[in-house]
Structure 1
Amino acid sequence: MFHISRAARWSLGATALLGTVAHAAPPQDGTPATTSQRLPATENIIVTGANRAPATIRPAGQTTYSADRSSFGNQVGQTVADMVVTIPGVSFTQGNGPRDTVVSVRGSGDRQSYGLKNLQILEDGFPMTQSDGTARADLIDPHAYEGVDVFEGPASTVYGNYAINGAINFRTRKGADIHGLELGSDFGSFGMFNNYVTLGLGNRTYDLMVFGSDVRGQGFIANSSYNTSTENMRLRVNVTPSDRLILKVVNNITDAFLPVRLSLSQFRANPFQQGCQDASHAAPGCAFVNLLVNGRYGAKEAMSPQAAGLGRFDRRTVVGLRWEHDFNTHLTWRNQFTYDQRHVDQPTSPTAFVGPYNSYNVSSDMTHQARIGGTSLETFGGVNFDYLDFGYQTYNVMPSGGATRGAKSSESYGHQWNLGARFQEDWHFAPRWHAVVGLGGTYSDLGAAETLYGYSEAGATRRDITANRFFFNLAPEGALIYTPTQAWTLHTRVGTAYGTPSSSNLFITPQGTYGNNTQLKSQTSVGVDVGADWRPTADIHIQATGFYEFYNDELVSQSAGVNTVGSYTFNAPASQHRGIVLGADWKPLPKTLPGGRMTLGYTYDNQVYTNYAEVLSNSTMSRSFSRKGNRIPGVIPNFLNARFLYTQPDGPLEGLGGYAEVTWRDAYWLDNANRLKAPGYALLNLEIHYDPPKRFGWTHRLHWYFEVQNVANETYVAGATNISDTLLANGRQAGGSTLMNSTGSIYAGSPRAYFGGVRIRL
């Protein structure tokens, strides 16, 4: 449910499955806190300095939905998709790798092939998005987490650059809640095996959580085996009654083979790419890559992904330290530093991409609480600076197996830094009314140099390109919350956001030549949210939010014309995103079936271009086509998750529970001309688990589960990237029958799969 929170209140309880309506915020470890009961605006909360901390990661007045461990802790928990599937407003698709889930908030990442874009990602309040707006889900093992909060809508006032569609904060488990050592194993179809361990200790002075896991599997698509290890640690120490230190460490290594994406025709013929090892004797529907035989120029050879050795070997390490100091019971100061290194080695196509991305983030903020007459006023202000330096190379992949590198095709070195400030006032100006105003701004500097290498019989050529850009953006916001009764909370918000281009957008001009793409602007958005939260009884909780967002200069890629070097990044002048987000939590028979519960999360997302002309080219001509009124491709218009859950509360079968779940995804367009759709689907999943009650002695420390995913064994599209429209020889746009043969788009989803697991607490 949406969270209407002040910028600095303190821990009051546990997060419900879909979140709660509260005036609450993170405890001293920096993670958001919630309450299961709404607090009147006039209620006073007395806290001591040792227990308080600013809640800068939870913007006051913003629509927020949450999920806690009760919704994902009893199952296999392979990816972040298992954590967010119940959250309204959130959808997801398969990225490039076993845990590379593309998470979308109101359509934010639906047009991406990997990672989490147009969002700011945090973990326990530490930034997990680098300065160029890149974040990935590979480092997330759901077993380590207590919950996740999704802040929906434009959010650059608090989060700065790239918070176009909001932000997500993942909360790891607290050591005091674990209180010991937990060992667990998951196992199941396609050779999946995950061993994990969690250590938790804590008291009033410190709290320590240490987690490690190693997961491997063969995958259900040819050339998709993987081995991923993750370590996660958080330590909080109360140095004095007024000072706290929080140390955060995350390390992840992803070693995965990778299939290539398919056309819709290939998906229908051979979704799991069986019989494709040998290109000369391949089954129908196989996908191949064409590799330069000598690694430099000339003849090419078609090879399957497994024969070529395509895959990813990536490492990510994040280390953060935060110091919180209470000057008094009304004023808190917080300082934070985070180092984030992402090193990639990705022979995922005919070209291998290799290089490090080193990111540094420093922030400082203050929160002050005051009383004005009989009302409360909270003031928050902060500054932040983040810096990214990178150096990567690309190499041609040769048909020698093992992703053998050929000649270097390009290299690039550069930086991006963002300097920002933010300010927010949070005023309870009347017993039932609550207003928030804020302003944030960011100055961004991008600079990079790219060297292109060419090869022919005559020899090698080299070309150097330099690109530099500067951007300054502002993001005001305002929110109003009204609580007429204990059962109702109404809210409205106007939020703004911005996202600058990244350095990779700067090297091809609108004329289709290599150079500085100086015309690019920052993409910006203004969004209006209107929502209501209704809790008529303790057994019913319904929340709904309508949103209407106006986008300007949205970054898209298009052709520059005939005989050019490739596509360039362009600002689509205007588009609109509008929709409804609905969540419900209901205990239908609290007396006769006290362990039964139903949950619903539904998103309607209608995104259209209102001003955009696209250029298409063939070998002889170029034409421009208006996309005004067209649906934006990649955006899933309807996404629904419904669960019926039951846990036996007493008797001989106490602790036995499970759920039946239906997830439905609507069909969605794959191209700007709206000629071809990815088909929709509905999946049924079943789960059963057992937590023995305390009266059973040591067996109480055991947790068992078993689940069946995709019970009906449906073949479905788990992820599809946008495809380019084509111009026929007669000057007309190609239809769906032609576009369905465009490769490089689709990954199939898993067929029916069985998983089980056990966890023991020592």
Structure 2
Amino acid sequence: MEPLTINAPALSDEHGSITVPTTPEAIADIRRTPGGVEVVPDTQFKNSRAQTVKDVLDWVPGVFVQPRFGDDARVSIRGSGLSRNYGNRGVNMFIDGVPINTSDGLVDLFEIDPTAYRYVEVYKGANALRYGGNSLGGAVNFVTPTGRDAAPFAGRLDVGSFGYRKAQASTGGAEGAYDYFITASAQRFDGYRDHSDGDQQRLSSNIGYRFSPDAETRFYLNLNRIRQRLPGEVSKRSALETPRTANPEFERLDQQRNIDSVRIANKTTLRFDDTTLEFGAFGVHRHVDHPIFQWLDYDVDDYGGFVRLTDNLRFAGFDNEVIAGANIHNGEIDNRQYANQTDAVKGELLSSNVDKSENISAYLQNSFYLRSDLALIAGLQFQYAKRDRRDRFLSDGDQSGSRSYRNYSPRIGVLWDIDPQWQAFANVSRSAEVPSYDANTFATPASSTVDDQTATTYEIGTRGERPNFHWDIALYRSEIDNELQCLTTSPFSPCTVVNADRTVHQGVELGLGLGLLESVLVAGDRVGFNATYTYSDFFFDDDRRYGDNELPGVPPHYVRAEVRYDHPDGFYAAPSTEWVPESYYVDNRNQVTADDYALLNFRIGYEPDTSNWSAYIEGRNLLDKRYIGTVAIAGTADEQAALFNPGTGRAVYSGVQYEW
């Protein structure tokens, strides 16, 4: 967690970019939000192995990331998408403000390259107003550098256990009104488990042009090539006793997920005295070859745009800020499904559909300052969504259909700057989440009536710092109607999406850092302690099928803790632990659990202030603990159910970075 900055600095001057805030500017801006938010700077995740989203977000309280294999992971924020074990839902993901989610709401994480970003913005729940805060989990935005804050050249090499190797290089610069940044990476790994090998190549770039100190436009290009084999879920016994073994059926069918994608976008920022106008547009094309229980062949085309107006003015002698905006995210999925005979051999055509999504959201938020340190904040968001399916394979009947959704989500809050380094906040917010295409398939009446998920969330918290101490605390309670659950009945077919009746998600999110000792061994060295704790109390509320059972999929307690020693010459050593002290259920009936576990990690490195290079060596799960990494969710399960993905065993990674 970065030190608190109450008063936002002005947008970058002629030496910076006004389309992309610097890290301090982003931190100051996000903390004008009366709720759980955080900026994760690259200094927190680039000095270790940075392969997956877990490597970036795992120190953010309230965010629970469970790796599956390769770069894939399940991300849940405040219990969002708890039951998803393929294709995340409930969190809106962005790269430079451009959606990674497909237009129906699902998102894969393979296109995220942690070595590419300057910082990552995390907006929990309805605090993600500017990004369409219509999901329970909120939004995560990965922000790349610009040529105005990037090194002329930087490169890194990483190697490690299970055949892991990665190379990344970037270049950036500015000349007059122009600036540019390009980064590219390539990685390959054999995988901890059988049949989990993969390779990825990614490129991210942007070019900016400054018309004047108050007008700038920026163009973005992202290219991705993803190849990943899938080991599949296995029984609990298999996951713990033979964790490197893949599901034999996944091996027989040679199940894979292969993605080729291109994303282009533009963002323009104009400043007029106390008013800032931002607008932009994007287009994304993906081709997905996905041989699983069937061979899925998808072409995905998404497009959209956004506009955002921020106006600072005085009203009746009081400071006031108005933020208004709108987002459009539409798209079409041309999907064909074939028989997967064996060894990923495409067979006969089994289904063919064209799915079209429309998503329009508009929001208005007003912050009225009763005093310079006390703001009352009110907002409203409108969301319209439509899901339309046209069936082109009619031999089994016409399964075309369409549904539309309209939701209004108000919020009120208060933000109090108790002193320049201490804030308190509270809010009450509504959110709404529309089903994705794997919910309303229109194949049967039951598969055409899945409703949107709505929630009311109450939140209170504080964040701040004192000498050698900083903290971030939030308490929340979400009362949810029609929670979307994707329940697994077989590992060889998709899960089935249903609405729960009423559920409750409530919890505590705690992050803190302590400076424990200084000048312990030599003058100027220091010992610090960092920890995050997430308490998750999620349960059915008098459900007609499951009563008051606990919701499966996430542990009640999750702890990350690290003690770090820093030498003034740049050497550091940091033992850490990841601890799940209590088991959690994997089915709604609360019959089967994933067990508690504790992992020991250790990292040493060299990161001098006076040199252009740095290096690290990192050991993970040093005691080779066998544990469950992630689970699929079922309505009812037994110990033999193939719902479990084993966690990675003992591993060692090392890397070196250089820039000039």
The alignment's TM-score, normalised by the length of structure 2, stands at 0.92
Shift of 1:712: 0.6
Shift of 1:140: 1.6
| Greater C-alpha radius of gyration | 1
Whole-angstrom distance in 2 between the partners of 1:28 and 1:555: 39
Contact 1:506–1:518 at 8 Å: present in 2 too? yes
Match 1:581 to one of 509, 520, 525: 509
Whole-angstrom distance in 1 between the partners of 2:2 and 2:651: 34
Question: 2:571 is matched with which residue?
Answer: 656
Alignment of 1:119-198 (within 5 A): 119-155=91-127, 157-160=129-132, 162-198=134-170
Shift of 1:431: 2.8
Shift of 1:177: 3.5
CA RMSD for the aligned pairs?
Answer: 2.8
Contact 2:473–2:511 at 8 Å: present in 1 too? yes
Q: Which string of whole-angstrom CA distances, capped at 9 and with x for unpartnered residues, describes residues 339-387 of structure 1?
A: 1222211113x21211111111111221111123553111111222221
Question: 1:750 is matched with which residue?
Answer: 648
Question: 2:444 is matched with which residue?
Answer: 514
Alignment of 1:569-608 (within 5 A): 569-590=497-518, 592=520, 594-608=525-539
Contact 1:586–1:599 at 8 Å: present in 2 too? yes
Question: 1:323 is matched with which residue?
Answer: 268
SS in 2 for 1:129: coil
Shift of 1:235: 2.5
Whole-angstrom distance in 2 between the partners of 1:544 and 1:522: 30
Shift of 1:594: 4.0
Shift of 1:126: 2.6
Whole-angstrom distance in 2 between the partners of 1:501 and 1:514: 16
Whole-angstrom distance in 2 between the partners of 1:659 and 1:60: 32
Alignment of 1:616-655 (within 5 A): 626-649=545-568, 654-655=569-570
CA gap of 1:71–1:6, structure 2 versus 1, over 3 A, is: closer
Shift of 1:638: 1.1
Shift of 1:600: 0.7
Q: Which string of whole-angstrom CA distances, capped at 9 and with x for unpartnered residues, describes residues 678-728 of structure 1?
A: 11211111111113453xxxxx222221111111111121111112416xx
Contact 1:556–1:571 at 8 Å: present in 2 too? yes
Shift of 1:418: 1.1
Shift of 1:753: 1.0
SS in 2 for 1:491: strand
- Is 1:29 aligned to 2:1, yes or no? no
Q: Which string of whole-angstrom CA distances, capped at 9 and with x for unpartnered residues, describes residues 593-639 of structure 1?
A: 643221111100111111433xxxxxxxxxxxx31211111122111
Contact 2:23–2:118 at 8 Å: present in 1 too? no
- Is 1:548 aligned to 2:491, yes or no? no
- Is 1:497 aligned to 2:431, yes or no? yes
Match 1:439 to one of 367, 380, 404: 380
Question: 1:716 is matched with which residue?
Answer: 627
Whole-angstrom distance in 1 between the partners of 2:473 and 2:635: 36
Question: 2:172 is matched with which residue?
Answer: 200
Match 1:341 to one of 285, 301, 311: 285
Contact 1:315–1:344 at 8 Å: present in 2 too? yes
Alignment of 1:302-451 (within 5 A): 305-326=250-271, 328-348=272-292, 350-372=293-315, 374-399=317-342, 401=343, 403-450=344-391
Whole-angstrom distance in 2 between the partners of 1:693 and 1:382: 42
Question: 1:288 is matched with which residue?
Answer: 248
Contact 1:4–1:63 at 8 Å: present in 2 too? no
- Is 1:484 aligned to 2:418, yes or no? yes
Unaligned runs of 5+ in 2: none
Contact 1:157–1:496 at 8 Å: present in 2 too? no
SS in 1 for 2:438: helix
Contact 2:106–2:436 at 8 Å: present in 1 too? no
Question: 1:539 is matched with which residue?
Answer: 468
Task: Give the percent of matched residue pairs that are identical in Structure 1 and Structure 2.
Answer: 22
Shift of 1:742: 1.0
Between stretches 596-605 and 316-325, larger displacement belongs to 316-325
- Is 1:705 aligned to 2:616, yes or no? yes
Contact 1:178–1:200 at 8 Å: present in 2 too? yes
Shift of 1:160: 2.7
Whole-angstrom distance in 1 between the partners of 2:494 and 2:137: 29
Q: Which string of whole-angstrom CA distances, capped at 9 and with x for unpartnered residues, describes residues 99-123 of structure 1?
A: 1122211121332113432111122
Q: Which amino acid aligns with 2:75?
A: V
Whole-angstrom distance in 2 between the partners of 1:58 and 1:447: 39
Q: Which amino acid aligns with 1:73?
A: K
Alignment of 1:71-82 (within 5 A): 71-82=44-55
Question: 1:113 is matched with which residue?
Answer: 85
Whole-angstrom distance in 1 between the partners of 2:317 and 2:573: 49
CA gap of 1:467–1:205, structure 2 versus 1, over 3 A, is: same
SS in 2 for 1:722: coil
Whole-angstrom distance in 1 between the partners of 2:486 and 2:188: 36
CA gap of 1:468–1:182, structure 2 versus 1, over 3 A, is: same
Whole-angstrom distance in 2 between the partners of 1:517 and 1:712: 46
- Is 1:688 aligned to 2:601, yes or no? no
Contact 1:352–1:397 at 8 Å: present in 2 too? yes
Match 1:667 to one of 575, 583, 595: 583
Question: 1:466 is matched with which residue?
Answer: 400
Question: 2:43 is matched with which residue?
Answer: 70
Whole-angstrom distance in 1 between the partners of 2:644 and 2:213: 55
Q: Which amino acid aligns with 1:589?
A: L
Q: Which amino acid aligns with 1:710?
A: N
SS in 2 for 1:158: helix
Whole-angstrom distance in 1 between the partners of 2:7 and 2:405: 28
SS in 2 for 1:268: helix
Whole-angstrom distance in 1 between the partners of 2:486 and 2:38: 32
CA gap of 1:155–1:467, structure 2 versus 1, over 3 A, is: farther
Structure with more relative contact order (C-alpha pairs < 8 Å, separation 6 or more): 2
The alignment's TM-score, normalised by the length of structure 1, stands at 0.80
Shift of 1:531: 0.6
Q: Which amino acid aligns with 1:499?
A: E
Contact 1:160–1:441 at 8 Å: present in 2 too? no
Whole-angstrom distance in 2 between the partners of 1:186 and 1:428: 49
Q: Which string of whole-angstrom CA distances, capped at 9 and with x for unpartnered residues, describes residues 580-600 of structure 1?
A: 000101111245464322111
Shift of 1:207: 3.7
Shift of 1:428: 1.7
Whole-angstrom distance in 2 between the partners of 1:600 and 1:356: 43
Contact 2:130–2:325 at 8 Å: present in 1 too? no
CA gap of 1:679–1:393, structure 2 versus 1, over 3 A, is: same
